[in-house]
Amino acid sequence: MLILVLLGSALVNEDIHPARQDAWIALLLGFLAAFPFLMVYRRIQRIFHGASLFEVAFLAFGKIAGTVVVALYTLFFTHLAVMMVSRFIVFAHMTTLGYTPGIWLALSICGLAGWLASQGIQRFSRASVMLFLLVALEMVALLLLSIEKMEFGRILPVFEAQPAVLADEAFSFFAAPFTQTVVFLCVFHGIPDRSERCRVWRIGAVVGAAIVVVNLVRVAMVLGGEIMGSLHYSTFLSSSVIGMDSVLQRVEVILSHAFFLSLFVKVAIFLRASWQGCGRLFPKWNVRTTAIALSMLVAIAAAAVGGSVVLMNDLFYAYRLYCLPFQVLLPLIIWIRGEFILRKQRKQAPVA
Closest listed residue to residue 54, CA positions, set 40, 73, 41: 73
Percent share of the chain, pLDDT over 90: 39
In this structure, what are the phi and psi dihedrals at residue 95, rounded to the nearest 5 degrees?
A: -120, -85
The helix or strand, by DSSP H or E, that contains position 235, with its residue range, turns out to be: helix 234-240
Residue 56 pLDDT more than 50? yes
**Mean of the per-residue pLDDT values for the chain?**
85
pLDDT for the residue numbered 142: 82
Residue 257 pLDDT grade (very low, low, confident, very high; cuts 50, 70, 90):
low
Residue 336 pLDDT more than 90? yes
pLDDT for the residue numbered 255: 63
Looking at per-residue pLDDT, the higher value among 97 and 218 belongs to 218
pLDDT for the residue numbered 246: 43
The mean-pLDDT minimum among 127-131, 235-239, 308-312, 341-345 falls in: 308-312
pLDDT for the residue numbered 248: 46
Residue 277 pLDDT more than 70? yes
CA distances 228 to 21, 37, 238, Å, are 7, 29, 10
Percent share of the chain, pLDDT over 70: 90
The mean-pLDDT minimum among 125-134, 177-186, 265-274 falls in: 125-134
Looking at per-residue pLDDT, the higher value among 26 and 193 belongs to 26
| Average pLDDT over every residue of 234-262 | 65
Helix (H, G, I), strand (E, B) or coil at 200: helix
Residue 245 pLDDT grade (very low, low, confident, very high; cuts 50, 70, 90):
very low
| Average pLDDT over every residue of 134-151 | 85
Task: Compute how many other C-beta atoms are within 10 angstroms of the C-beta atom of residue 343.
Answer: 10
pLDDT for the residue numbered 80: 92
Q: Go through the domains of the chain in sequence order and give each one's CATH number.
A: 2-348 (1.20.1740.10)
Residue 43: alpha-carbon gap to chain centroid: 20
Radius of gyration of the chain (CA): 21
Count CA atoms within 13 Å of residue 123 on its CB side.
7
Residue 307 pLDDT grade (very low, low, confident, very high; cuts 50, 70, 90):
low
| Average pLDDT over every residue of 257-267 | 80
pLDDT tens digits, residue range 58-107?
999 999 999 999 999 999 999 999 988 988 888 788 777 777 888 898 99
